[in-house]
Amino acid sequence: MGFGPQLSLLLWKNLIVLWRSKCMFLLELAFLFILLPVVLVVVRYAPKPNIEEQYSFEPFQITGDSLDINRSISHIRSIDNYYNCGRDVDIHLGFSYEPGMDKLAFEIMEALSERYSDNETMRIFIHNFTRLETMMEVLKEDLNDTREYMCSEYIGGVHFQSIRIQKGKSQPQLVYRILMPQKTNIRTQSHDFDLSLFWLDNSPGSVQADHNQIPGSPPYWQRGFLSIQFAIESTFIEMNKGPDFMKDKDFYLLRVPIDKSSTGGIDLFLKAVLVLWLLSISGIMLHTSKEIVIDKEAGIKTYMSVMGLHPLAFYLSHIIFGIIKSTAVMVICTALLSIRVQYSSSLLFIILTVLFAVSMVFMAALFSAIFKTTQLAQLFCMVIPILLLILNHQLAPAITNVWLCFLFSLNPITAFSYGLAHIINAEKNMIYLGWFSIFDNGTTQFTIAYSLFMLVVDSAILCFLIFYIDSVFPTDGSAKKHPLFLFENFWKRHSHQRLNKMPPVDQTDSKILIENMEPENASIDEADIIIQNLSKRFGFWGNLAVDNLNFRAYRGQVTVLLGHNGAGKTTTFSMITGSITSSGGYVIICGRNLEDNLDDCRKVIGYCPQHNPLFEKVTVREHLQLYAGLKTSTLNGPHGRNILNEEIADILDSINLRASIDIQSQNLSGGQKRKLCVAISLVAGSQVVLLDEPTAGMDPIARKEISTLLTKIKKDRTILLTTHYMDEADKLGDRVGIMVNGRLMCNGSPDFLKKKFGTGFILTILCNSEPQFFFENIEEILTTIQKHSPDAYVYRSNRFPQFSIILPISDKRHFADLFDELQFEKERLCIDSFGLSLNTLEQVFLR
């Protein structure tokens, strides 16, 4: 069956469960019901924003000399006030240069020192370093020694990387770096050159911190950065154009005007949207992870996989429902809030929040794939988003660091926060943000388009991780795949090539005599199940649960596996179904190697496990329709709805479950649930039927119904079952194999096993004595029998008034005389009747 139809079937099932779980659905939306009134209040009563008109600045002069030292601009500290610590200061400026640059570097720096020499309160002296590393060490040492008092000996340093004077056609070139400490206050650990002090929201385009002629932060003026930069470049220009080139030329700096903006209004609520929206879908995340893990804990996922389900379809069926519910929540909340969001596209805002919700649902599903228990999965659904929220708040880089933003946006919360920041800035700057502007400034900023893209990428990555982890590290007992299974087509051989290279099937275990196996009359072409040298070891040093197992099961026959608890029967079934991988050997299903053709093999398998993998809120009819659909391509089976309904009716009539066809499985009795599991294994014409203790927990009448059904339908099917009821195995089994410690000890028809391993004949006697004399009567009868069969002994005597005696086969020639005497002494021995039968499978099994 294709992936799409499987997904459709599971969505249909989830819709039924949702409709029958209305209270739980409302509980999922609890945070929505709490949040909605808050949103409505904000939309209705949020104050109008304060509009700030465009603000322009006055220019100020820069000279790159001693005049800059004492120049005060607006409320910004002057350079000498910043450095002199209340006294006159001689401060140094270090410089270094690349090899060959020494002469020109000295010339530039001496001219710079001359420019600042005639200031009385602060003089700048240059200091030469031949290597950049040496200068950096001195600057760091100076900072560490003096930074607590902010009175450094050095203002900073200059490193010249390339200096070229214009000669002929060669163009002048000046490449250099001005080095100043990032932090200046060791007590507060403040960052002077931190854009967050300039842009209040740490992003270009947001409201600026001050209205001075030059921004107070970063401190490019008061630290002398701008003045030194202008001095160096003015000196370089004079070296190329002549000493008089810069005379009589005044230079001014003019701060870019601040555009019209708004503050207040709905801005504060938008900043809280990230947390509020996360809370609103938290119930959906918890419920999604819970539903997935519950199905895994109940064995439903593994069982459905055996019946042909693709694992990713299982997860996506829950994820899609989580997405639908979270999308509804996001659309309602965001659409209401968009009424007050004037400068952003409502559709853009809604899609951003929906993509965020989608990624968080995928994250919840990932936790359910990683953890075995509902409690752990839900715990991580609560804790991890909180941790990611904290990491986003503490570590997320500014949007100007585009590539680093891409890296941090692998966290869906960070990707959403960047997109939300653009919407907030659009409201503040009163610049419309629509679909045609989502890529604006894409080379210099992490745009909202990038946020949308990364949310999609995050969902895709999470989906891949769910599929990969569930395949390689399953937590529900499913078969593990190789870590490189995605590339297996490069080395995978076709199944028929492996079959051709396999040695002939050996029907005997190497450790068991061939005499214990009855020769088979059927053709190998009729063997739908071939087990060859199959072994399973749990753990590297564990014991073998299945040890070199070999047998065949034929079409038209019921093959029974007997064995005590722990003999390896269920492990064998799990390997045949592909639920667990074998440690060695082969399983061939209908001519296909199971390891290479798992999906194809599962299409013909019907399986009834020991447990009941049933959906509590799904009816009997819906279960059968669902599993019939998994094996075919449609909800109505391979031949249409009418044929499927007839097949379902026939199966349910045979096991007396027709009256419960529309009852939910949670309301069925234990025996009825077992009947339903058997019916599921048979529906849609399963060619290979595997029944693991199908009648456990059934009453005798129900067991008889199952036996009658299996006898009726075995003609065109291969049936392999396990049971602890010896009479059931004797009646149903065309061939019976007995397993001990993972090995097949014997295999053949019930009659063959009885003759081969039986202890003798069973003489059953019905007494008419009084109960208090029953055991005395048994002793007297046994004494009479032992005259003819000295080795006879009592086999069963706890079912008054009946008991059984075992007669050795070797005494068969004396049976006629024995029966004559019993008949003659019938009244004296209080015998009502007696009968002789061959030994039972139970005796064979116990032996």
List of residues 6+ apart from 692 with CB closer than 8 A: 569, 570, 573, 607, 608, 609, 610, 721, 722
Count of residues in the chain: 847
Of residues 708 and 264, which shows the higher confidence score?
Answer: 708
> What pLDDT sits at residue 121?
76
List of residues 6+ apart from 154 with CB closer than 8 A: 91, 92, 93, 94, 127, 138, 139, 142, 143
CA–chain centroid gap for 703, Å, is 41
Token pair listed for 593: 């190697």
Cα Dmax for the chain: 151
Pairing of strands 89-97, 154-164: parallel
Question: Would you place residue 338 in the very low, low, confident or very high pLDDT band (cuts 50, 70, 90)?
Answer: confident
- CA proximity to 332, closest of 413, 287, 266, 277: 277
- Half-sphere exposure for 748 (CA within 13 Å, toward CB): 20
Helix (H) / strand (E) containing 593: strand 592-593
- Which DSSP letter does residue 790 get? T
Q: Indicate the SS3 state at residue 563.
A: strand
Question: Burial letters for 744-765: b for 16+ Cβ neighbours within 10 Å, e otherwise?
Answer: bbbbbebebbbeebbbbbbbbb
Distance in angstroms (rounded) separating the CA atoms of residues 87 and 458: 58
Report yes or no: 462 and 359 within 8 Å, Cβ to Cβ: yes
Of residues 263 and 76, which shows the higher confidence score?
Answer: 76
Report yes or no: 583 and 541 within 8 Å, Cβ to Cβ: no
Distance in angstroms (rounded) separating the CA atoms of residues 123 and 80: 9
Of residues 218 and 356, which shows the higher confidence score?
Answer: 356
- Half-sphere exposure for 329 (CA within 13 Å, toward CB): 31
Express each pLDDT in 42-83 by its tens digit: 877 777 777 777 778 889 899 999 888 888 887 788 888 887
Distance in angstroms (rounded) separating the CA atoms of residues 652 and 648: 6
- CA proximity to 840, closest of 761, 740, 785, 782: 761
Question: Would you place residue 795 in the very low, low, confident or very high pLDDT band (cuts 50, 70, 90)?
Answer: confident
Does 447 have pLDDT greater than 50? yes
- Which DSSP letter does residue 397 get? P
Q: Is this prediction's pTM over 0.85? A: no
Which of 64-68, 154-158, 386-390 is most confident? 386-390
Distance in angstroms (rounded) separating the CA atoms of residues 428 and 422: 10
Express each pLDDT in 651-670 by its tens digit: 999 999 999 999 999 999 99
Does 498 have pLDDT greater than 50? no
- Which DSSP letter does residue 247 get? T
List the beta bridge partners of residue 592: 589
Least confident of 190-194, 313-317, 400-404, 794-798: 190-194
Nearest 5°: the CA angle 21, 27, 28 is: 90
Average pLDDT, the chain: 84
Amino acid at 114: E
Distance in angstroms (rounded) separating the CA atoms of residues 43 and 700: 68
